Structure 1
């Protein structure tokens, strides 16, 4: 059993739990205090540093208590919080693997405004961050001890004046147990209904008082394990479901569709097999013209017809003829139903690959977590109470992804495409290729001509990334009381996060390019051509080159230094057919690479709080005051081994990140001013004011000194009703990774704005600007592969600022004991948002501006009429070195203070708890969020045009949790319903009127929405004795999986459950 030695605190906790027995509570309204209740100690609530005589907060607070965490059976605090409607599932376990370096992280994202805009605290103090490559600010909530948490407070709205930078969207404060006494053991295990995705947890929590109960120390040791599962383990995920373009809705054969014409642009297919991804390798023979040849058919086998509109009798362009290499190296036609637009299109079903086989798509990563936490305090005197918080956490996480691949220009168009005289290509295959080309009206290939081959290198194994992370944090401080009602606290808070990442089987791209070019030597043996022909030597000198010409950049110098060794060790590769790459070739091509990262944070803080009662009081009471000072130092470091840093592996090039240590000094103050009290219509009227000044010096870009402030008003016209309103200015200084991240390699999907098929989609100046840039009107290039771009930080960034408004009320009627209802409106507007315009936005903004004299046109380069230096139409090298096309690696995607965001909505919360005669006790809680607006303003050419995020994947308009418990005797039963509202299939602008513009394309697909989903969870517990409690539960009873091809791994789709039905059981022992 646990005991609280502070009687007043124990009463406060009892009051909290009594009003919200099911754990998620609104900010509570003060009860009439009679008798002993008047002795309740003043407490500090999240959202303010001033102690208060009740559990009221001047800002909206939603709390999750220890009982909630225990009853849900959740072993991941982050995933539990993501079930709250106020938090977006941006980084949950199911989608933490979609970016480099984030595998296994749980990062919190209030209101969907970005993890870097949610300030996460422990006991009101900062916690060291974890996401080094993104913002280095957001802590990994996996490192927080589940059984040592007393409650979690979620505060909406800007709180920089109280807590400092980053509290743009709000604050999540983890309050740890204090004065725990006893010994508690807990063990739990669970698995999905498919007998995978296991989740196991064990915890020991021990605490004791000492020195006549003036001191307390508690230690918690936890172990948690998450087992992985893969898309191939779920029937609906094992097949790739996609929306595919409808050939019945074309624009004059141009390969694009008509919008809003009554015919769906896309149909949904359950088993899509692409022609450009194959585990054994695929080649295409694209028909020479759209009319003379159609060897592989015209038009779709499956036709979508709007029942309200007759099908169009349009003859579509012919399909190309894909041939697949079998494991034996033979060529066979790809089978299945042709879908999508020619000349490539896709197949529904058939013998192609779907990128879901085996471990090609991991849904949950593995996660092993060991944590040790210590909390202690000692009351030497009323004026001196030292305390300590310490933790060490080690997590090991592994993710699996698809293998390395090539599509003709993924690595280097001139080297990854095999020559027609490749010795591994049989005469029969050469004849089959040329026969197919002839039927398509194309000339035969011969000799050294290179041809396009698409291949997933599945026989090299999938990409596996192991991340070992260590989090250390220690807080040493003291607090105390003097002059009866004044309190102080001083503390030093040090945190370190360290990450060691190991990537298994990283493909060395320079070696791959050498191994792909093979020839028979004089003895008839197949060898690498570079070993007998010096002209075939090749170094990866294309990385970040702006003109395709050697320029002695570091990556080129390093590649050249490795060339001789790579040629000497070269082992030729047979790329034709899965399983034909030998062990020797695999060992030559693959290497295990490492990287290391570290974040250090030190915070010195001192605060003083009290009230004016020793000197004066207003008629309604004394003025509450808090003042304080903070000094913070941040330091980050990331380094990948040189092979990766210089871009010689398939893994993205990751340069060194080692900015100087940054320091910030802050001073803050807060006032609580009672205006009226216990008057008719004014049981209470209180004004709260807070301000903070932060000096960022020269280390945080152009931020300098910034000021944040809060103001709120609390009004209780009668005992049972409380109204609150608040205004706040919050700031977020750019993080060190925002400022100093080096230019690194990335890839982007781009529709060229000057291509004739896209040129009509911009402003009235786009056509003229494209011509002025030298791009002819006949240009109509489509990038077959994702172009390489550079992305990185910007040392000239300024701070972000937000203005937030909150209006709310709490109703707790005396005539319904145990009932409370709250409603809070929030409006958050952020200016100077730090974000990087996408590659698409950069290119569009260049040509959509009034002229070419703008900041965006200088961020990329194009080829001239001759194309790239290796361009050869005879060898099909058309992308990305075609005339006038984007020069690969030249587009610079840098961070800018140019965007803005707005979030508005209403949070509702209802709680009711009561005894049911002699049967037992009943409690229920509803937490509901209705978003009214969620817009980004990201268009550089039109900064006032909203990009609606509301209703898009991950951001439904409506979401709620409804939780009910019934306790009778030693038994307790619980039920939770969670609802996620509908979300649009693609973009909100296509379905809704946005910014005065009508819906842009209501016919985007046969379905407009991912339908709303209800999840149902049940749980039960049996208290054998005061010391033994057995519990069990079933989450997602209806076994719901993500809809319409989603897997939970992509952006936004993590909002859905991915494991299906999940069973768990456990036992808790108290001594």
Structure 2
């Protein structure tokens, strides 16, 4: 209670006194400093967003600055995590969000305004850094490579800056300014642990610097070590069980009926997977279905679980949800949160060494050097080597003389293929009791009139009745197959170990030419290397062979392919020589229960897979800057200018082992990638025109303009960027500013040159299924019929109604015809620094960003809908995929189903993004008789965040504002009180309510009514506020200790969210966290 009252009082005090920080190049920490800034000192510096030196409190662009002190006070050991907590940045890939996704563990990317990490340009001292997004063939800088204790400040500039810095600066720029003249020796250490006893971290940093030659030269070095331990949902009392919303109403896509479609349940257990094996038998939809029906009369599957010893029992618990699978609440099923199944954060170890140096031979000739080496080692486990749901691998081989009906269409259409991933009833590892139970279930389900694996009805036609009879005969003969749905954790965890190394070297020279001009020329080389090893993966071809078992003449259990050549088909047309070797070495697999897989089978099935990649960047740039005061001056002062040029060359390669490229591992078949070099030559110029100053209502009026032309080798061609801005100070206390810019983002290497490779899309809703055929345009049904849909335009029972229960395989690649993205940015705002309140600074800025010709791939769902909702089938979207003919597909696809691997996915210039909002920053620094009060706040109010990504309707907007990960309002407030040598600090991070699903569910958009206001019993996730407390003690002028507690109230992600992922990651999943640190100066 006392803590709660203290936090409330502190938060109210913070809100009463301040918000955040003024957009300036330096923090103001004393009254005298603030007064000097307000009266306009003569010192001039480079402010991020310009190459023209100007007074440090004058910036025509809104700049948020994060100081090294703020990083230190946060208690975080990753500067990327500090930045991702800012309202301006959408939670992208950070400590919590990089746990899933091949090759992304341990990275930390930034995403300004939620426009995508490729549209946020990251700089170090105003220069580019090499990309680390190798696995995605993308362009994003890993913030984990930044030297935390060597950072002087971080400037975050909103709006397009391509005219100053080149491509990618569409949402804005994040510029890391390093300490340039550090002198002394400083040792900094910190360690922390969560309230749960996990998530520990350690950090040690050494910074040393020395001036020499009477201060004309300096060399500084920084070495850092940081380690963050992994932690899992199973170790958290609030996350070890699965709490989630479950669909209970049958009209989830209809308009409001005052019946909530989803209800929140705790301790939900899966009906489609388990650790020992789960079975679900489909029955016809009748009120007398043996395992019950849902609210719409659809039958639930009869669910069974294999126990560790291989015995089979009924799955227990309260059955809820919709058929056929539904869910269980409680009971003996799996929560899918056991062990290492849900990682909340990876294990990351980081080593960073930086060297900075310069020497002034003369004021006109100052050579300088920057060098960096960063090594990151990331580790994490997730799931087992493989999880099977009966048709996960989409296997299908033709077997001469045998027409398997286990997954054949109910109407009797023959596809003549066998799915070896499914279990044959005569499997010798199956106990007699389990076999009897399964036989009885299969027989009863078939007699009810449906295929027990797919639920497809046999019907009453002659072909359907014959198919039903054949299925019963195959059950009796033991040749029928059933789906075993299982996570194979007993094959060992699928561990991913990634080692990343980043090298960067900058050599240059700068200097002043007289008192009016300065220049800089530099060469910047960066290289990022990555090695990714996944241990315990499976060889999918061997898995299919080992799953399909029988006995030989001697009664020994063997792989069926070893005794029956008809089952010796290669997976996906593999190499016959490899197939023969795999069959010869095949070790049969016992899939029933847990821990029953032999070591020999494990060795046969599992394998490490490897990937190596390298990105390089070489930049030569130079500029001349200064003012024309020696020639003429305007009433406001001398005209400033900058002119320069840049050459940039980048390469990207990514090599994978042969098995991965062939698709034998349990993930995408990923081709190796080596692109042609990316080259661009650029010229740029900037001018600042001070029109007038020191007259009534015109203390200052300055116009600024800049432009850049870039010539890309390849498809982007020649592109142009420009900007204009103005700053007006009517009185000393008030600065008004505005800017407009046109920026560009050229397609990156991966966008253009990625080779076609296997990928997967979440289960789409087939627009031609009976349940969807009448939910689209007026032409959808007719187009589906024209395309060959069984049942024509009818949605009646027995017509085509396929439902995807797992992902669809597609082929993804690059596009040689891409052009550059273009953006328009507008900012309007001002800075108020009242002389009657010394130490107070308030800035308010409006921003508006529109990105056109966005490079993105249409979702498979939107392309399918666009195909059949068009006036006819003669459109670009219908050409992207193929469907199975009357005889079914080559992998057992039923008639008319979309063929696995047929959809061709590639990026296109067709989308548009819009972002508008208001940033408010307030800072207050005041020295009193009792001590120093420092307060800072940052508040972002999002007015609009829309995506226009529907390929068939370019003006159809998808509203993201207020959805998970994109709150309408978010603010941070930090308050520090220093009394003597002791500093007390408090910070609050406040996140607004966010919709449980989409904005469109509850609000009319695009002239349409709300889509589903009855989506769930909860409309929005609640407001969440995180409170941090800290204490700093200056023992003496050489030693300082700090202590802190982050997330004091132990706030957890709400309503079953894990805090992992681009949306849910906005919440903290670490819980209450304690840390202690110390800094010693020598």
TM-score (norm 2): 0.91
Could you tell me how far apart the structure 1 residues matched to 2:629 and 2:255 are? 70
Counterpart check, 1:625 vs 2:641 = yes
* Structure 1 match to 2:949: 938
Q: 1:36 to 1:182 in 2, by over 3 A?
A: farther
Deviation of 1:80 (Å): 0.2
* Residue 70 (structure 1) shift: 1.1
TM superposition shift of 1:645: 0.9
Q: Which moves more between the two structures, 621-630 or 990-999? A: 990-999
SS in 2 for 1:764: coil
CA contact (8 A) 2:709 2:719 kept: yes
- TM-fit CA distance, 1:646: 1.1
- Please give the TM-score of this superposition, normalised by the length of structure 1: 0.92
**In the alignment, is the contact (CA less than 8 A) between 2:194 and 2:1070 conserved in 1?**
yes
1:896 matches 2:908:
yes
More displaced stretch, 580-589 vs 406-415: 406-415
**Counterpart of 1:615?**
631
SS of the residue 2:942 aligns to? strand
Partner Cα distance (1:386, 1:355) in 2? 58
Q: What are the equivalent positions in structure 2 for 1:435-514 lying under 5 Å apart? A: 435-440=440-445, 441-442=447-448, 444=472, 445-446=475-476, 447-514=478-545
Task: Confirm or deny that 1:432 pairs with 2:434.
Answer: no
Q: How many residues align?
A: 1003
Structure 1 residue runs without a partner (length 5+): 1-19, 300-313, 542-555, 872-880
Secondary structure in 1 aligned to 2:805? coil
| 2:754 corresponding residue in structure 1 | 741
Residue of structure 2 equivalent to 1:8: none
The structure-2 alpha-carbon separation of the partners of 1:649 and 1:657, relative to structure 1 and needing over 3 Å to count, comes to same
Do the aligned residues in 2 keep the contact of 1:571 with 1:584 (CA within 8 Å)?
A: yes
Alignment of 1:699-714 (within 5 A): 701=715, 703-714=716-727
Shift of 1:811: 0.5
Shift of 1:55: 2.9
Deviations 1:813-860 (A, max 9, x none): 000000011100000000000011111111111111221111111111
Does the CA contact (< 8 Å) of 1:187 and 1:203 recur in 2? yes
Give me the whole-angstrom Cα distance separating, in 2, the residues matched to 1:174 and 1:215.
22
Give, in angstroms, the shift of residue 353 of structure 1.
1.3
Query: Secondary structure at 1:677's aligned position in 2?
Result: strand
**1:717 has 2:730 as partner:** yes
Q: Does 1:391 align with 2:372?
A: yes
Compute the displacement of 1:24 (Å): 4.4
Q: String of CA shifts for 1:533-570, please: whole Å, max 9, x gaps.
A: 222212112xxxxxxxxxxxxxx4x5333111111111
Residues 1:420 and 2:431 are matched in the alignment:
no
SS of match in other structure, 1:341: coil
Distance across 1 between alignment mates of 2:506 and 2:614: 19
Match of 1:95, SS? coil
**Contact 1:925 1:962 (8 Å CA) reproduced:** yes
Alignment of 1:37-186 (within 5 A): 40-186=42-188
Residue 118 of structure 2: SS of its match in structure 1? Answer: helix
Query: Aligned pair 1:576/2:592, yes or no?
Result: yes
Deviation at 1:434, TM superposition (A): 2.4
Q: 1:915-937 deviations in whole A, cap 9, x for unaligned?
A: 232x1111111110000000000
Q: Do the aligned partners of 2:68 and 2:149 also contact (CA within 8 Å) in 1?
A: yes
Aligned to 1:915: 927
Distance of aligned partners of 1:965 and 1:774 in 2 relative to their CA distance in 1, 3 Å threshold = same
Alpha-carbon distance in 1 for matches of 2:1062, 2:262: 21
- Residue 456 of structure 2 aligns with which residue? none
Which residue in the other structure is 1:380 paired with?
Answer: 361
Between the aligned partners of 1:33 and 1:923, the Cα distance in structure 2 is 16
CA distance in 1, matches of 2:190, 2:630: 53
> Which stretch has the larger CA shift, 728-737 or 258-267?
258-267
- Compute the displacement of 1:189 (Å): 0.1
Query: Are 2:840 and 1:819 aligned?
Result: yes
Query: Counterparts of 2:229 and 2:25 in 1: how far apart (Å)?
Result: 40
Q: Report the counterpart of residue 569 of structure 2 in structure 1.
A: 538
Does 1:765 pair with 2:810? Answer: no
Comparing 184-193 and 763-772, the one that deviates more: 763-772
Q: 1 CA distance for matches of 2:925 and 2:1011?
A: 48
Aligned counterpart for 1:562 among listed residues 557, 574, 578:
578
Please give the alpha-carbon distance, in whole angstroms, between the structure 2 residues aligned to 1:315 and 1:931.
41
Asked if the contact 1:805/1:828 (under 8 Å) is kept, the reply is yes
The alpha carbon displacement at 1:99 in A equals: 2.0
1:406 paired to 2:396 = no
SS at match of 2:1077: strand
Task: Quote the Cα distance in structure 2 between the aligned partners of 1:756 and 1:712.
Answer: 57
Match of 2:404 in 1: none
- 1:6 maps to none
Are positions 1:774 and 2:788 aligned together?
yes
Matched with 1:347 is 328
RMSD value over aligned CA atoms? Answer: 1.8
| 1:665 matched residue in structure 2 | 681
Cα pair distance change 1:283/1:962, threshold 3 Å? same
2:965 matched to 1:984? no
Cα distance change on mapping 1:870 and 1:377 into 2, 3 Å? closer
Query: Is the contact between residue 23 and residue 64 of structure 1 (CA under 8 Å) also seen in structure 2?
Result: no
Give the secondary-structure state (helix, strand or coil) at the position aligned to 2:1043. Answer: strand
Q: 1: CA distance between counterparts of 2:623 and 2:553?
A: 82
Deviation at 1:35, TM superposition (A): 13
Is contact 1:43–1:55 with CA below 8 Å preserved after alignment?
no
**Partner of 2:250 in structure 1?**
250
The CA distance in 1 between the partners of 2:579 and 2:250, in whole Å, is 49
Match of 1:281 among 255, 277, 284: 277
Q: Secondary structure at the match of 1:960?
A: strand
Cα distance in 1 between the residues matched to 2:66 and 2:250: 53
1:1011 is matched with which residue? 1022
Aligned to 2:830: 809
Per-residue deviation at 1:293? Answer: 3.6
Counterparts of 1:424 and 1:781, CA distance in 2: 32
